[in-house]
Amino acid sequence: MTKHMTGTREEWLAARIELLEAEKELTRRSDELARRRQELPWVRVDKEYRCRGRRSRRMGWTFPWASSFGSDFNFDFNVSFTEEQQREGGIEYNYERGGHAMDAAAEIPQPVIQNAVMTGTDVATYTRERPGMSAFVLEDSIVYHTYSTYARGLDGLWGMYQWLDRAPRGRNETGVWWSRHDEYNKR
């Protein structure tokens, strides 16, 4: 027998209509935040970066990917860090300096340890690369940095989270719970 609250169809419908109003308010708030993102000042990018293009065939994707590997791009936009920064605690991530769960001096969360093992590396190496997204615009032959977000700020961009947040048990995150589409049959 379930331990979750149960009710009648009428009780569910009343609760769902109340939730719908909150969801509509969230959508209106999201529209406002999108407008504010678009109003951020643009910052001219004068440094030249070289990105290498390739197609990620193993996953079956048909669009071209660009990699900034071998350039300063990820370091300049605060998603990659050097061993020295990590040792000295000089990491600036998600608009904060130090004090992050993945800094060398902090207690390392179990999922971070599991992810490092899953990717075949140690925790220190694994945590020198962090999730982030930056947007740019090219206007009149000038590149401008327009927006960046990190960590949980990326949730809205990763479609799977939006689906899971609507599932009966949400993300139900315990340990490493995801695989790439061609790895599910290997479990």
Query: pTM (2 decimals)?
Result: 0.76
- Degrees (nearest 5) of the Cα angle 131, 96, 43? 75
How far apart are the C-alpha atoms of 90 and 103, rounded to whole Å? 9
SS3 call for 54 = strand
Q: Is 44 left (phi over 0), alpha (psi -120 to 50) or beta?
A: beta
Domain boundaries, the chain: 10-39, 43-163
Q: Are strands 92-93 and 65-67 parallel, antiparallel or unpaired?
A: unpaired
- Confidence (pLDDT) at 47: 96
CA distances from 4 to 15, 20, 104 (A): 15, 21, 40
Kindly compute the dihedral angle of the four CA atoms of residues 25, 27, 31, 33, in this order, to the nearest 10 degrees.
Answer: 80
Residue pLDDT, tens place only, 73-97: 999 999 999 998 888 887 899 998 8
What gap in Å lies between CA 10 and CA 16, rounded to an integer? 10
pLDDT of 101 reads 46
Residue whose tokens read 């061609």: 182
DSSP per residue, 133-180: EEEEEEETTEEEEEEEEEGGGGGGGSHHHHHHTTSTTTT---SS----
Q: Which pLDDT score, from 0 to 100, does residue 111 have?
A: 81
Question: Taking residues 27-56, what's their average pLDDT?
Answer: 92
